[in-house]
Amino acid sequence: MLPLLNSAAEAIGNTPLVRLDRITSSLGLEGTIVAKLDYLNPGGSKKDRVALGIIEEAERLGTLKPGQPVVELTSGNTGTGLSIVCAVKGYPFIAVMSRGNSVERARMMSALGAKVILVDQMPGSIPGQVSGSDLKLVEEKAKELEISRGAFRADQFLRDGNWMAHFDGTGAEIWEQTNGYLDGFVDFVGSGGTYAGVSRKLKAMNPALKCFIVEPDGAAVLANKEVSQPEHPIQGGGYMMPDLVYLKDSAVAVDGYLQVSGDQAREGARLLAGKEGVFGGFSSGANLSAAIDLLKGEMKGKTIAIMICDSGLKYLSTDLWA
């Protein structure tokens, strides 16, 4: 029986891991894909872990004062997690997000008590397809608010609480839930914290285990590919940011880089929903597509873990479920 918890923040983590045998069998694949259902976190994404990790790290270090405002740029998921954690702990939270992200995210953060600041996209940008240039405008606004409000900047791209939440939590959980019978891990990279934390934990347990970074086709700067399509529908990552701090650490190993198109991500998300009853978003579909490609190739017959990064409910206004 599950224990009685003191807050929603205590419900973050310890999410289920499920086999996707209906998908692999329908495609005639040799091997196994297991999915970490982080969309079942209270805020509907894996970023709840990051939010809790960053705030608790700041409390330990004394860099976040009681009642101090917290500000962060977000595509919506980290912001939702911070909305929950800050509400529970008594910190006012200001979320700064591009208007190009799905409207459900802004509404959810507002409902959870956050002050949401929406930043217009660059001229010519496509709604629903946030580029690196759009994100720079959001970053400028977040810095301005940090100074003017005397706020603590959560800074998911720099704070160690991000990757550590996935090292101590997500990665450890995946290893325990598979009893160590695991050959690979793939994840679509946003801030890089999930990949860095999970891969470091899994490789500490089994150095032979292979870990792969997933990026959008046409915007795969981590793989040193030429950028041909900076706009893409896979929200939360692929912003063409080569200097992701967590991935620069020598302890983070990358066994390969995989590219997934927007269409492949859509197909993957729809396959997850229709075959397995797993209602994820674009990045979850991208992870599934990448794992399928691996089982068709170099990882044939192996067991691969993927993240179900966030809920499909956050994309009802997009073409994902049209």
Distance CA 46, CA 232 (A): 21
93-98 β-sheet, strand order: 115-119, 93-98, 70-73, 152-153
283 is a catalytic site residue: yes
Residue 128: predicted pLDDT = 74
Whether residue 114 is predicted with pLDDT greater than 90 in this model: the reply is yes
pLDDT tens sequence across 143-158: 999 999 999 999 999 9
155-169 pLDDT tens trace: 999 999 999 999 999
List the domains of the chain with CATH numbers. Answer: 8-40+166-321 (3.40.50.1100), 47-153 (3.40.50.1100)
Q: CB burial class (10 A; 0-12, 13-18, 19+) of residue 148? A: exposed
At 279-318, the pLDDT tens digits run 999 999 999 999 999 999 999 999 999 999 999 999 998 8
Tell me: pLDDT of 213 over 90: yes
Please give the backbone phi and psi of residue 28, each rounded to the nearest 5 degrees, phi first.
65, 35
Residue 322: the pLDDT is: 85
> What distance in Å separates the CA atoms of residue 282 and residue 314, rounded to the nearest whole number?
10
Closest CA to 259 of 303, 191, 306, 212: 212
Run of H or E residues at 98: strand 93-98
User: pLDDT tens digits, residue range 43-68?
Assistant: 999 999 999 999 999 999 999 999 99
Q: Is the pLDDT of residue 204 over 70?
A: yes
The rounded distance, in Å, linking the Cα atoms of 80 and 269 is 21
User: Which residue from 57, 135, 55, 124 is spatially nearest to 90, judged by alpha carbons?
Assistant: 55
Which pLDDT score, from 0 to 100, does residue 127 have? Answer: 79
Phi, psi of 258 (to 5 degrees): -120, 140
pLDDT, mean of residues 90-115 = 94
Q: Which residue has the higher pLDDT, 51 or 190?
A: 51
pLDDT of residue 240 exceeding 70, the answer is no
Residue 242 has pLDDT above 70, yes or no: no
> What are the CA-CA distances from residue 215 to residues 14, 102, 208, 223, 260 (Å)?
26, 20, 23, 8, 6
pLDDT tens for each residue of 128-142: 777 778 888 999 999
Global pTM value: 0.94
**Distances in Å between the alpha carbon of 256 and those of 60, 106, 214, 314?**
36, 34, 9, 29
Catalytic residue among 283, 284, 289, 311: 283
What does the block give as tokens for 313?
């409910």
* Annotated catalytic residue, options 47, 89, 201, 302: 47
Alpha-helical (H) ranges within the chain are 21-26, 47-61, 77-89, 103-111, 132-148, 160-165, 172-177, 193-205, 245-248, 262-276, 282-296
Q: Which helix or strand (DSSP H or E) is residue 305 part of?
A: strand 303-307
DSSP assigned state of 234: -
Residue 47 a catalytic site member: yes
